[in-house]
Amino acid sequence: MGEEELNIRGGFANPERASEILQQIQLFGPASKLVGSLFDVLDADASGIMEADEGHMFFRLLGCPDAELDYYWEDLLRAADGI
């Protein structure tokens, strides 16, 4: 969950934020399950964090040329940070 603050039980420290995230997940419905499944496949070391080498593998699978992997990975990070 990135930089989300958690309480001692592993839940969100800010209940309003928890509600907001739950709403977002519900809005995505089946798409969120698909994205979650894709993430699990790409997260080769099961760390729960998409690392650069795993992200590069994803873009390779999409047919991205090796010379452009860093560009697309950085673009993905910029987009994710803006959410």
Query: Domain limits of the chain?
Result: 1-30, 43-81
d(CA 25, CA 34): 12
d(CA 50, CA 32): 16
- Amino acid occupying residue 39: F
Q: What is the pLDDT of residues 4-45, one digit of tens each?
A: 788 887 777 888 888 887 787 777 777 777 777 888 888 888
d(CA 42, CA 60): 12
In Å, how far are 8, 17, 47, 57 from 5, measured between CA atoms? Answer: 10, 10, 18, 30
Q: What is the pLDDT of residues 46-75, one digit of tens each?
A: 888 888 999 898 889 889 999 999 999 998
Task: Please state the pTM of the whole predicted model.
Answer: 0.54
